[in-house]
Structure 1
Amino acid sequence: MTLALCTTSHTPLMGKAEPGADVSARVAAAFDEARAFIRDYDPELVVLFGPDHYNGFFYEVMPPFCIAADAESVGDYGLPKGPLPVDAEAARHIAAQVLADGLDIAVSERMQVDHGFSQPLQLLFGAIDAVPVVPVFLNCVAEPLGPVARARLLGAAVGRAAASLDRRVLVMGSGGLSHDPPVPQLRGAAPEVSERLISGRNPTPEERAQREARVVGAIAAFAAGESDLMPLNPQWDAELMALLASGDLERLDSRPNDWFVEHAGHSSHEVRTWIAAYAALGTAGDYRVETSFYEAIPEWIAGFGLTTARTVPA
């Protein structure tokens, strides 16, 4: 058994809005480094912690956590649509172990996932079906949210379960860092928006295209300085990345949910996927971050980070 890690921000604007040639080159170089790290590690299984953006999970039933024994990409923002190669046996084993560890987790035999899962697979492996995967959904958007400590405890339980598989497992976290995109909220929403947040599964291609065009337009206005969306916070991002690299994850347990929103935007709660991934890696012992990249990219409304890490031999 070995564990390694890769965490990455995601953005639906990648490929749709260009942040400048120099920024794009630095992002591309960072992904080249991460891909080389993954090739060297040669994972037999990927456990991918990811969020959703009201494409697969809705208020009709909104679990805080869910493990997929079967999953399909909805193909939003031009990303590939179709089934993920979920290792159902590994997924059910991990779910059973997490439940035995005392954490309540849902199991899906037909999960729908969006760019929060499909984009990192596409970017780091070249396809969404290139490697066996266990998708682990964390609710990072739909309030009310549980305390952030629960994400750490979930990650640790998943890490212990993954370690028992006796395989090379890459744990991944997809989301964050500071960003406050125009994601609708149920409280105060217009009736048609409220209905979509409650039961919006399987929109027509036209409905999806209209929604995505609105997001792209809103982020273009943000990048041009013509928006009241919360700005990116590179200092907050740097401090969070340093804390994760230190291994002292319990320091985040006392941070209330409002702290994330006030300093880094509503969608900064996606860093729960990073916290879970680092907690999973930490169950295998001390770890060392091998590559770390960060750039504040307004054109993608993302404090964009990418890290890789592996355990340090005893």
Structure 2
Amino acid sequence: MAEIVAGIGISHVPALGPAVDAAATGKDTNPLMKAFTDVGSWLSETKPDVLVVIYNDHGASFSFDLVPTFAIGAAESYMPADEGFGRPPLPEYPGDADLSWHIIDSVVPEGFDLTVCQSLDVDHGFSTPMKVLFGTPEAWPVKVIPLAVNVVQQPTPSAQRCYDLGKAIGRALRSYPKDVRVAVIGTGGMSHQLQGERAGHINPDFDQRFLSEIVSSPESLASLSNPEYINLAGSEGAELVMWLIMRGALDDDVETGLSGYVIPVANTAAGVVAMQNAGSTQKAASTENTAALQNAAAL
């Protein structure tokens, strides 16, 4: 049977990639970047076969004329999107269409009407976390399933709806009959706003609360309304509801592998948190390594 081996929440601001590269090469000695440089190593120890990556499209595949609430890729591969500067020099992402269709066939009867994409280009909302996790390999070491969420145009799905979808995806993954190791990645956030009178808005208190409660009490975050998210985290910080899909897919009882927070990265806060189910058959890091990662990433 399939096993969910890891859950990661991570920002996808484009500047995060160069910042992580600088930290990894010693050009940036900010200790708060350590969690971002180590998260890929943490994930590689879990040996996932497939990543379900929850992200939002920034106009590369969907426009304001057509924005599905939830859209899932069901293709054998996905191309990195041209966002106005040509396709980035990244390899094609291999898909797992069989698992995609299993998720679709499982969650649609539960009332989640997913838009099914048998062809889909993925933009920086998807590719930035992949670069942070794996660098720029000649070929990606895992298969991927993209899940795009509308967090750009009202009406957007509520935090509770996202959390509930995550629960349904978790049930779908656990019922998949093949022996596949799956990691679920929720991207976006943390607090930031790119326009209007509050352009530049960052709320470290809420960001740190979110990093704590996404582990210990996600229901409290799911209970917040969309206006509350926008008020607390900014119009683009509302992307954090995508982390709740990731968290919903995990068990109620989880353990934290690492957590980190840095500010600012291109006028936005950036965060990362990595978790495993408490009953996981394989831990991604030893107790010693986990303590070192948490200390290095202390807020």
Correspondence list, 1:227-266, <5 A: 229-246=199-216, 248-266=217-235
Correspondence 1:139 to 2:106: no
Residues 240-283 of structure 1, C-alpha deviations (whole Å, 9 max, x = no match): 1111110x32223432211111121101121112111011112x
Correspondence 1:33 to 2:33: no
- Aligned residue number for residue 13 of structure 1: 15
> 1:300 corresponds to which letter in structure 2?
A
More deviation in 107-116 or 67-76? 67-76
Residues 6-65 of structure 1, C-alpha deviations (whole Å, 9 max, x = no match): 221111224668999896643542133212211210001111111111222113321110
Offset of residue 231 of structure 1: 2.0
Specify which of 289, 296, 302 is matched with residue 263 of structure 2: 296
- Aligned partners of 1:82 and 1:40: how far apart in 2? 22
Offset of residue 293 of structure 1: 0.4
Correspondence list, 1:52-71, <5 A: 52-70=57-75, 71=78
> 2:205 corresponds to which letter in structure 1?
Q
The answer (yes or no) to whether the contact 2:191–2:236 under 8 Å persists in 1 is yes
The answer (yes or no) to whether the contact 1:49–1:277 under 8 Å persists in 2 is yes
Structure 1: runs of 5+ lacking an equivalent:
184-226
Cα separation, partners in 2 of 1:291 and 1:263, compared to 1, 3 Å:
same
Q: Secondary structure at the residue paired with 1:300? A: coil
Offset of residue 130 of structure 1: 2.9
TM-score (norm 2): 0.81
Q: Secondary structure at the residue paired with 1:231? A: coil
Residues 74-126 of structure 1, C-alpha deviations (whole Å, 9 max, x = no match): 14478435632111111111111111222111110111211010111122123
Residues 185-236 of structure 1, C-alpha deviations (whole Å, 9 max, x = no match): xxxxxxxxxxxxxxxxxxxxxxxxxxxxxxxxxxxxxxxxxx9514211101
The answer (yes or no) to whether the contact 1:286–1:312 under 8 Å persists in 2 is yes
- Aligned residue number for residue 180 of structure 1: 193
State the Cα RMSD in Å. 2.6
> 2:254 corresponds to which letter in structure 1?
Y
The answer (yes or no) to whether the contact 1:46–1:170 under 8 Å persists in 2 is yes
- Aligned partners of 1:270 and 1:228: how far apart in 2? 17
Correspondence list, 1:37-52, <5 A: 37-52=42-57
Q: Secondary structure at the residue paired with 2:182? A: strand
Residues 151-199 of structure 1, C-alpha deviations (whole Å, 9 max, x = no match): 111111111111223421111011101011249xxxxxxxxxxxxxxxx
Q: Secondary structure at the residue paired with 1:49? A: strand
Specify which of 105, 112, 117 is matched with residue 103 of structure 1: 112
Q: Secondary structure at the residue paired with 2:269? A: strand
Q: Secondary structure at the residue paired with 1:72? A: strand
| Structure with a larger share of its residues in helix | 1
- Aligned residue number for residue 209 of structure 1: none
> 1:13 corresponds to which letter in structure 2?
A
> 2:42 corresponds to which letter in structure 1?
F
